Structure 1
Amino acid sequence: MARKPKTIITCALTGAIHTPTMSDALPYTYDQIAEQAIAAAEAGAAILHLHARNNDTGFPSIDPKDFSPFLARIKQATDAVVNISTGGSLTATIQERITPAKTFSPEMCSMNMGSLNFSFHGLAARYTAWKFDWEKAYVEGSEGNIFRNTFKDIKEAAQTLAPHGIKFEHEIYDVGHLYNLKSMLDQGLFQAPIFLQFVLGIQGGIGADVENLVFLKRTADKLFGDQYHWSVLAAGAAQIPMAVTASQMGGHVRVGLEDSLFIARGELATSNAQQVAKIRRIIEDLGNAVATPDEAREILALKGGDQVAF
């Protein structure tokens, strides 16, 4: 009997876009992030993509002290691969953004492969009252944001983190980012096999259409041959449909409240684990098997959970 294809599920728990007003399920305290991460792993997520928040206000944080309280708990309770964001702030320097990864030396971290306009200001019009004073201005202010990831920034991050043996999740917001990565791969800044995360549906990036996904995949095939693995995340309502499509094209998937607050159209998700359970059920019903953390480590050639610094 033929072996079922293995699909890696990543769960992105909280991110730096959505705010506490937008969903009561969005985790922002240390306890909430730890509890939802553990539940997501139990539901089938092999990789946990983590941002931190201020424990009192829910404001996005890149301070290592806001990662420490939940990282150890997650490691003790699960075997999941921890992936620490090097995004997290649209205004901080690259050295500030990579400090959590440099501090904790996780198995994986994100690596954004180009600059872009990055806005979610349209969300502000949906709410008339806010839980915290910072939220409205933060969301509205994103209209003027540029997410800076210059060639120099990427090189600096890659060279700084190289001694840690971290596998990068190369976040691809548009097709040009693939060419950026190819140039830097040729310079020896990254090592194959690489792991691509196609990001669809962010305002400022490529749209969440199947045609765009196919185009990204064809371009990656041309540039990287068989020396890469890939996954898809899609914002908002496109999250589950694009994940299902990716799984059937041989890719891996990412879900989580960072990318969408909903479990179905018009229905807020109750947790990250609910989204993981939904995509797992669909993937398995369509004939794929969900990868365990150790299978994800083998597929992506990770250093192992015993070599992290938390």
Structure 2
Amino acid sequence: MDQNNCTSLHGFVLLGFSDHPKLEMVLSGVVTIFYFVTWVGNTAIILASLLDPHLHTPMYFFLRNLSFLDLCFTTSVVPQMLVNLWGPDKTISYEGCVTQLYVYMWLGSTECLLLGVMCYDRFTAICKPLHYFVIMNPHLCLRMVITVWSISLANSVILCTLTLNLPRCGNNLVDHFLCELPAMVKIACIDTTRVEMSVFALGIVIVLTPLSLILISYGYIAKAVLRIKSNAGRQKAINTCGSHLTVVSIFYGTIIYMYLQPGNSASQDQGKFLTVFYTIITPSLNPLVYTLRNKDMKNALRKLVRLDHESTKLKRSQVS
């Protein structure tokens, strides 16, 4: 029987932090807390921006997409991660591993590109304010989002298929707590230089291309902000762009460190902690970053809380 087929039957063993059982207990608590915060924060942003008519603008359309993406991104990882951290059973079925690999890569690539699109939205709003709603019309916004998801899906299919076609010679021990592409490449029993070069090349396109456009856009944005004479207008622009720039710095910093190092020089434990950071912690920070620095979003969230409070009071009065 083919050795890859043997792996297909038996699945994979996700080693994770199995050599540090106390660390696994701490991490399981941290992951659970941040996953809860991610769900509450991003769901609140989606509901608030949908229910408040003042937030039916391109900026909040993209922010809703980012929040939805973060919910899917963490959910593709956390349930299996918690199973891995909580008990002695570290196995995942072949089908489950393949699904996680494709979905994880798809959603991660989408976030890279979506942050670039969000920067273009901010560039248009600040540098071309009089033409903003003409340029960023609903049709264009929808088309941009569909394009981002489609390109990311193609990237995932190419890289993950290349990785899964590598012979593993019966090796099913993955030194990670999820089926992540670099960890899956490492268990191949042949020279993986060509696959690693493909990952690096597509990484340049998916990661560095939007990042370069973001940096160029912020150069123009900085010039435009300096020309704003009103202190209030300047502060509003800084707050709006500062939120996006904070998210970009956190997300791209960890992604570049993980995927675009020559020879993947980061240690395996470093890679695991960085994966926890950008898949669990960063999505939970996004709602805080966008709400704490955004007056309109804070007002919308207050309305959402009042609406929920009034609904609860009405139900109680009907019961009594």
TM > 0.5: no
Which has more radius of gyration? 2
Higher strand content, 1 or 2: 1
**TM range, smaller chain:** under 0.3
Higher helix content, 1 or 2: 2
Q: Which has the higher contact order (CA 8 A, sep 6+)?
A: 2
TM norm structure 1: 0.27
